[in-house]
Amino acid sequence: MISVDIITQVLNAIGVDELIKLTADLVQINSVWDPVAGTSEQSAAEYVARWATQQGFDVQLEEVAPLRPNVLVRWNASPGERHLMFEGHTDVVTPGDVSMWHYDPFGAAIVGGRMYGRGTNDTKGNLAAMLTAMAALKNSGVRLAGRITGGVLCDEEDQMLGVRDFIRRGHADTVTGAIICEPQDGLICTSQKGALRARYTVFGRMSHGAMPLSGLNTAPAIARLIDGLQALERKAVSQFGPDEHLGWPSLTPTVIQAPSSGAPQLNVIPGEAVVLVDIRTIPDQSHGEIIEALATLADAVKRRVQEEYARYDGLLGLRRQHDLHIELEILTDRPCTRTDHNDPVVQAAAWATRYITHHEPVYAGVPGATDGTFLWALRNIPIVTMGAGDRQVPHQVDEWVDLDQLVETARIYALAALHYLPPGKHGG
Ligand SMILES: [Zn+2]
């Protein structure tokens, strides 16, 4: 049991004004990765590094790619086996058409208890909350049993280069639990959907639209592929879904493009076409089996379309070469994650949420991948994803975060760390 005195000591050390200011300052730094416009995570990372140095943390800036650093904010509270990581990213997605916004996307305007701007919700507010929580723990004088690392990482929104670099350099090797600071509206997310992204390329033979029999159209194969993908989805849905927290698995053809490159023309049969497939999985599904099914589908479609062409040509008395060919490429393979509810990091998150909100915690799942996916998949680190902000708001115009919820989140983060690294004989 952690004494009420210690809990109060930690909570009293949380600087509410500092949290709001830190959030606003970060939102006002445009950290969209846009080499053409000349913006990147660099300035936001440098700002965090300066701030954390002033708080007395051990701070390191590590270049992941040019103008794209990670920041490591570390505190070795005392010797201990546990090593908690807080993870938050510095990059934000583009504001899109700025004229659609009612507020300056980089203004951090506060109206009616909300702060507006790109990143307020995803995830600079939560990044500020985790840093404020770490500072509170450190400044409270309570001696935690173990270490905390704040991973302030770049490129979460795209290739997740930041977390992969963090892992590659060995920083995750000793981490025993991680809190992924993302907008989950106070929910405790212990699972995440997996993602498989695939590309089918269908090779036929280009010809004039007025002389289709001198070419080999890819369109029938595209149609059969889409039918086949739908059948695979229906099979997965009846076999596996829905998952209690993650909902239904899905297999979605998102891009159907012919020709695969260059300008389409109505009177030209394209020689090459592509179908991109976005597959989202739930924990019981096997990615290996799905990839096998995708490959089997390509072979079956090829054979069937070749037969159809042969039959048709027979009817017309033609002799064409039916050298139709379908290639499958897997572009992304990110596994599902699921952390046991009895894991100490989940228990810490649940205890802290209960203590601060006076409600039983609600468990949920994350529909997309996060940096946590890699920590879980590559280093078996138990992860829990939680933070302030409506779950539908990320990447929208007029992005916002509720400031009361943000303060509550900083308090929950601080107590979760306290519970995970309880001060024992070293206690303050
Ligand atoms: Zn995010």
Task: Tell me: do 210 and 70 sit in the same domain.
Answer: no
Residue 296, pLDDT score? 98
Handedness of CA 355, 356, 358, 364 (dihedral sign): negative
d(CA 402, CA 310) in angstroms, rounded, equals 64
**Ligand 1 centroid, distance to 90 Cα (angstroms):** 9
Mean pLDDT of 256-267: 96
pLDDT, position 290: 98
Domain membership flag for residue 43: yes
**The token pair that represents 378 in the structure block:** 């590559």
Residue with tokens 């590590």: 62
Q: Identify the domain boundary among 334, 366, 399.
A: 334
Q: How far is 333 from 338, CA to CA, in rounded Å?
A: 16
> Chain-centre distance of CA 160, in angstroms?
8
Cα 72 from Cα 93, distance rounded (Å): 22
pLDDT in tens, 39-52: 999 999 999 999 99
- Residue 1: band (very low, low, confident or very high) from pLDDT cuts 50, 70, 90: confident
Same domain, 34 and 176: yes
Q: Sorting pLDDT into bands at 50, 70 and 90, what band is 241?
A: confident
CA of 201 to the centre of ligand 1 (A): 32
Do 175 and 229 have their domain in common?
Answer: no
Asked if pLDDT for residue 69 goes beyond 60, the answer is yes
Per-residue tokens: 261: 């490159």
User: How far is the centre of ligand 1, averaged over its atoms, from the C-alpha of 241 (Å)?
Assistant: 26
**427 occurs within a structural domain:** no
In a domain, 199, yes or no: yes
Distance 223 CA to ligand 1 centre (A): 36
* pLDDT confidence tier of residue 425, bands split at 50, 70 and 90: very low
Rounded-to-integer distance, Cα 27 and Cα 29, Å: 5
Q: Looking at the predicted structure, is the pLDDT value of residue 428 above 50? A: no
Q: How far is the CA of 41 from the centre of ligand 1 (A)?
A: 14
Tell me: pLDDT of 376 over 60.
yes
| Pair (10, 140) in one structural domain | yes
In this structure, of 74-78, 86-90, 114-118, 191-195, the range with the lowest mean pLDDT score is 74-78
- pLDDT of residue 63 exceeding 80: yes
Instruction: Assess if residue 223 is contained within a domain.
Output: yes
pLDDT score recorded for residue 234: 98
Among candidates 346, 419, 410, 412, which has minimal Cα distance to 376?
346
Q: Give the H/E segment covering residue 354.
A: helix 344-357
Q: What are the structure tokens assigned to 420, written together?
A: 């995970």
* Average pLDDT, rounded, for the chain: 96
Collect all residues with Cβ–Cβ distance below 8 Å to 388 and sequence separation of at least 6: 121, 125, 126, 129, 183, 185, 186, 401, 402, 405, 406, 408, 409
Confidence at residue 368, expressed as pLDDT on a 0 to 100 scale = 85
At which of 312, 334, 356 does a domain end? 334
| pLDDT of the residue at 171 | 98
Kind of pairing between the strands at 147-153 and 83-89: parallel
Alpha-carbon distance 166 to 68, whole Å?
13
Structurally, how many domains does the chain consist of?
2
**Neighbouring-strand partners of residue 205:** 216
Q: Which two tokens stand for residue 93?
A: 């997605």
Residue pair 382/345 in contact by the 8 Å Cβ criterion: yes
Is 426 a member of any domain? no
User: Cα–Cα distance between 34 and 155 in angstroms, integer?
Assistant: 11
Mean pLDDT score, 141-157 = 96
The answer on 247 and 156 residing in a single domain is no
- pLDDT class of 122 with cuts at 50, 70, 90: very high
pLDDT of the residue at 363: 97
Q: What is the mean pLDDT of residues 287-296?
A: 98
Q: Does residue 66 fall inside a structural domain?
A: yes
Instruction: Give the pLDDT score at 427.
Output: 40
Give 182 Cα–ligand 1 centroid separation in angstroms: 5
Q: How far is the CA of 286 from the centre of ligand 1 (A)?
A: 26
Termini Cα distance of the chain: 14
Report pLDDT for 78. Answer: 86
DSSP string, 94-140: ----GGG-SS-TTT-EEETTEEESTTIIIIIHHHHHHHHHHHHHHHT
Domain identity same for 319 and 288: yes
Tokens for 368, please give them: 């997309």
Indicate if the pLDDT at residue 19 is higher than 90.
yes
Distance from Cα 20 to the centre of ligand 1, integer Å = 19
Interhelix angle for 4-12 vs 125-139, to 10°?
A: 120
- Classified as helix, coil or strand, 155 is coil
Spatial neighbors of 355 by CB under 8 A, at least 6 apart, are 7, 415
Cβ count near 28 (within 10 Å): 16
For residues 387 and 327, membership in a common domain is answered with no
pLDDT above 60 for 212: yes
Based on the domain organization, do 358 and 370 belong to the same domain? yes
pLDDT at 286: 96
Beta bridge partners of residue 338, listed in sequence order? 191
With DSSP H G I counted as helix, E B as strand and the rest as coil, what are the percentages for the chain, rounded to 5?
Answer: 40, 25, 35
The pLDDT of residue 278 is 96
Q: What is the structure's pLDDT at 426?
A: 45
Q: Where a domain ends, among 280, 300, 334?
A: 334
User: Beta strand pairing status for 268-269 and 83-89?
Assistant: unpaired
Residue 354 belongs to domain with CATH number: 3.40.630.10
Q: Cα-flanking dihedrals φ and ψ of residue 268, to 5°?
A: -125, 125
The rounded Å distance from CA 32 to ligand 1 centre is 12
**Ligand 1 centroid vs 181 CA: distance in angstroms?**
8
**Paired strand residues for 149:** 74, 85
Asked whether the predicted pLDDT for residue 383 surpasses 70, the reply is: yes
Q: Give the number of other CB atoms < 10 A from CB of residue 50.
A: 12
214 and 123 inside one domain: no
151 and 9, same structural domain? yes
What are the backbone angles phi and psi of residue 270, rounded to the nearest 5°? -70, 145
CATH value at residue 230: 3.30.70.360
- Is residue 316 one of the residues assigned to a domain? yes
- Asked if the structure places residue 428 within a domain, the reply is no
Q: Do 124 and 15 share a structural domain?
A: yes
Cα-only R_g, the chain: 26
pLDDT the model gives residue 215: 96
Residue type, position 357, single letter: T
Q: Name the residue range of residue 267's domain.
A: 194-334
Q: Is the peptide bond before 23 cis (omega within 30 degrees of 0)?
A: no
Alpha carbon of 122 to ligand 1 centroid (Å): 5
For residue 77, the model assigns a pLDDT of 81
298 three-state secondary structure:
helix
- Mean pLDDT along residues 383-405: 96
Distance 156 CA to ligand 1 centre (A): 7
Are residues 362 and 214 part of one domain? no
| Rounded Cα–Cα distance for residues 121 and 84 (Å) | 23
Residue 15 to residues 48, 129, 357, Cα–Cα distance (Å): 16, 10, 19
